Chains A and B, each alone.
Chain A
Amino acid sequence: MSTPEFDLVALKKVGMIQQKQSEYFALRLHAIGGDFTAEQLHRVAEVAAKYGRGELHLSTRQGIEIHFVHYSRLEEARQELEAAGIAMGACGPRIRIVVACPGAATCRWGIIDTKEVAKELDAKYFRQDTPHKFKMGVTGCPHNCAKATENDLGVMGGILPAWQSESCIHCDLCVNSCPTGAIYKENNEYRLDESKCIYCSICTSNCPVDSWVAAKKGYLLWIGGTMGKIPRLGTKLGNLIETKERLYELIERVIAYYRKNGRKRERFGHMIDRIGEQQVKEELLNE
């Protein structure tokens, strides 16, 4: 069986990945936070039936892959998808599709609008080249359902709580439901040990009389998370970031730093470990 020469690198860049059955390709589709319309899903199904074997694969990054598309029909399939507003995904050493939980749009715990952040990151960075693959995840709160800490760059919503004595009925629910034991009672007052606080909003959500309020609300930035052969959880970069401008400024700096310092095929987190976590944090924050 002879197959023509493919520019596999160029194909990978647009999410077309040669299968081990070398005549066939997997088409990886673009997605933002795993959101599709019903109409788009219909079209994806039609393309899978027409150009593949009617099989779809849901990826670990909330994307869709259409498998078993013959090389002779790649362009046709792609054009049909793009006509339905579905772009191709990405593979290789570059910025991949952004994952996100549904966030504040529908979740009770959601602190930030994850869809808005995911769209912004996608618009700015999707498919851009980096030393190795670079994955971004946006999660609405520290419950971390979208696993921000397992991505090269993770954005997480968070609040810093503050206690207001006037309305408090001293029920002790906050002390007993704080997941990290950051809240304690001293001299008949509730106190917060901010070094233990994970900004999760359980105290402010639970408090029966709203004595715990969100003094600050914003974003936490995690860098260098990865799974794969050498797993590493993300490192928190600084504390709660209160404005979008500061968030995007830091993200811009993080990606530029990786491009400048990352070796070929070196994941961002492993680069951080090579240089030293403390040094990387300082260089990113104090500029």
Chain B
Amino acid sequence: MSDAVKKRLDLHGVVCPLNFVKTKLALEELNVGERLEVILDEGDAMLNVPRSLKEEGHKIIKVTPNGEVYQLIVEKGV
């Protein structure tokens, strides 16, 4: 397991549920324990995507607000 971010994804302006689908696809390219950085919009995206990631077994490591978007670090689960 490494703390380094393996991949970055800017989903600013991408609506639900497409933002989750894109996040999921990006995570599929990673190995278990590797990390993805995702930029998500405030509002619906932040309500839905984190919970869907949890349901899929992935883990949010850090959330940092940045204006109208959030930067999420997600660790791929099993």
Contacts and interface: CB of A to CB of B under 8 A. Distances in A.
Contact of A176 (B53, B54, B63): B63
Given A208-B59, A209-B59, A173 B64 contact: no
Contacts of A176: 46, 63, 65, 70
Interface string B38-72: 00000000110011011000011111110000100
A180 interface: no
Nearest to A174: B63
A23 to B, nearest CB: 50
A62 interface: no
A202 B53 CA distance: 14
Nearest to A108: B51
B47 A171 contact: no
A207 B47 CA distance: 12
B47 A173 contact: no
27 contacts: A108-B51, A171-B60, A171-B61, A171-B63, A172-B62, A172-B63, A172-B64, A173-B50, A173-B60, A173-B63, A175-B63, A176-B46, A176-B63, A176-B65, A176-B70, A177-B46, A177-B47, A177-B50, A202-B47, A205-B51, A205-B54, A206-B50, A207-B54, A208-B50, A208-B53, A208-B54, A208-B59
Interface of B: 46-47, 50-51, 53-54, 59-65, 70
Interface of A: 108, 169, 171-173, 175-177, 179, 202, 205-209
